[in-house]
Amino acid sequence: MSQIRIAPSILSADFAALGAEIEAVDRAGADWIHIDVMDGHFVPNITIGPTVIKALRGRTKKPFDVHLMISPVDPFIDAFVEAGADIVTVHPEAGPHLHRTVQLVKSRGKRAGVSLNPGTPVEALDNVIGDIDLVLIMTVNPGFGGQKFIDSQLAKIGAVREKIRASGRRIDLEVDGGITTETAPRAIAAGADVLVAGTGTFAGGPTRYADNIRLLRG
């Protein structure tokens, strides 16, 4: 397995200083910047849109890992790509044709991810595993930061790792939700190679970010 990468979720950053926060986690050693987009419909929260992402794009050269928790998702893919997304991750439930959505992302020259909620079966990946670049396992129900890690999802991480191995393809396995210094090693042991950490990264303020990232990476 490749080196563990850390993708701080800006959902837990200081929204009054997002640009500075992104610069701070970049300096602290973040590998990607994880951006949670919520519409108040697909999930019970509203966060940010492409205009904010475009405004932040110049603050770092690190990949923007954009998780779209919106439905319908297809009409907004182009806007997020144009705003600066490098990875676009969608949910099987966010549109009627997951394969078409994945192909739309790929046609725009971006990496395509599929996210599985705690109640979404691993089998949702079966007909797109040959096309995607990333699988995101949610270890909380999406919508809010600071939730507790759902232990039952460890088996799902392991099952997806086996699917990736069987595919023979290079696919990132990302885990998001309740990632702390206690749960990160368990997620990694189950097969994760990218960890999304909001509270786990941003706790303690900018002087703590480098240590937080180092401890999460293990």
Catalytically active residues, by annotation: 36, 176
> Which amino acid is located at 162 in the chain?
E
Cβ distance 129 to 173 under 8 Å? no
The structure tokens listed for 131 are 């096309």
Residue whose structure tokens are 């300096």:
27
Structure tokens at 52: 């904010």
User: For residues 101-114, b (16+ Cβ closer than 10 Å) or e, as one string?
Assistant: bbebbeeeebbbbb
CA pair distance 162, 121, nearest whole angstrom: 14
- 147 vs 218: CA distance, rounded Å: 21
CA nearest to 197, candidates 145, 154, 161: 145
Residue closest to 176 by CA, chosen among 35, 71, 17, 52: 35
Q: Please, are residues 29 and 214 in contact by the beta-carbon 8 Å criterion?
A: yes
- 33-38 and 64-69: which strand pairing? parallel
